[in-house]
Amino acid sequence: MERLSDILRKYYLRFFRPVSPDASGVYSSQSAELFGARLQEEIESLTGLSLNNPDLFEVALTHRSAIDLSIYSKKNFVSNERLEFLGDAVLDLVVAECLYSRFPDYDEGKLTKLRSQLVNAKTLASFARKVHLGSYLIVSDAAEAIGVRDSDTTLADAFEAVIGAIYLDSSYLSAKEFLETRILGDIDFGELTSVENNYKSVLLEYAQAHHLSIPAYTVVAEEGPSHKKVFTVSVDIGGEALGQGVGRSKKAAEQIAAQQAMTRLKTCSNTLCNSSLDSPSTPASEPESPSSPPNP
C-alpha cells in the first residue's frame, strides 16, 4: 500500500513543479552553473545530506524578488513560496510528533500552544540564523538594499522551504532527522514550558486584581562559577516575602518564586491575604472599639 508521504510527494511534483523536468521526468542538475558546486557543498554540509536534486534547494533559497532576474526567467524558476507551503506542513508534523512524545501528560490545548511557540516566524527565523541560512539566500539588489535578506519573515519562509526541499529530495525521515538533530535537539524545553506557565504574569495579574502592591523580585544569592551560576530569587508583595526560587538563570528562579507565591496566595484565606499584603501606602481599616454601640 502506498504511503501517505509518497502520495504527497507525487502530487506535489505533479502540481507544484518548481523547474521543468527533462524528458525522463526527473529533475536535472543542469543548473549547477547557477547553483554552484561550492554552494551545493555548503548546503550538503548544512543539511547533512547528499543532494539528489540541487534545483530544489536553489528554489528553496530563491526569494520572490529574484525571480524576475533574467538568468532565472530563462530557466523557468519560481520563488520558494510553494516549497515553503510544503515545508510548513512537514515542520508541523515533526514538531507535533516531538511534543507528543516529550510531554505525554499534556492535553491538546497545551501541546498546541507549545507548537505555536516553536513554529512562529520569530522562532523559525532564529533557527535559520542558527544555521546561517540568510547567507545562502538569492534576493534582488533592491531587496538586499532594504534588508530583506535578514528579516524574520524572509528567513522563516526560507527555512520552511528548505524543509520542503529536504522532504522532496530525500524523505520525511530525513527532514525529521535534520530538524531533530540540528534544531530541536538544542531547544531548552524547560524554559519553553516555563514561558507557557508564566507564573510571573499570573502573579502580577493577581496582585492587580486584588489591589495589592506590584510583586518585587530580589536576587538573594548567587553561587557557582561564571559559566555555571545558580541564582536564588525572592519575591515579595507589600514587603512580605511570599516565595523563593532557585534556578540556573534569574528568569528561571523568578518563575519558581512566583509559582510559590501563587500557591501560597491560593491556599491562604482572603482575609489573611488582604490584611497582610496590603500596600504600606494603603492603611488597613481600624477595628471598631468594643465600647462603640452597635449599628442599628
205 a catalytic residue: no
Contacts of 291 (CB under 8 A, 6+ apart): none
Angle of the 189-196 helix axis to the 108-118 helix axis, nearest 10: 120
Residue among 160, 236, 254, 278 flagged as catalytic: 160
Cell of 226: 561564571
Q: Residues 6, 11, 14, 18: is their CA dihedral positive or negative?
A: negative
Amino acid at 229: K
* Distance of alpha carbon 127 from alpha carbon 157, whole angstroms: 11
Q: What is the Cα–Cα distance from 174 to 53, expressed in whole angstroms? A: 14
Q: Is 22 a catalytic residue?
A: no
Using CA atoms in the order 154, 49, 29, 84, what is the torsion angle rounded to 10 degrees?
A: -30
Provide the H-helix boundaries in 37-150: 37-47, 54-60, 70-73, 81-102, 108-118, 121-130, 141-145
55 in Cβ contact with 22 (< 8 Å): no
State the catalytic residue, choosing from 88, 157, 236, 278.
Answer: 88
- Contacts of range 108-115, beta carbons closer than 8 Å, 24 or more positions apart: 110/196, 113/196, 114/192, 114/193, 114/196
Catalytic residue annotation:
88, 160
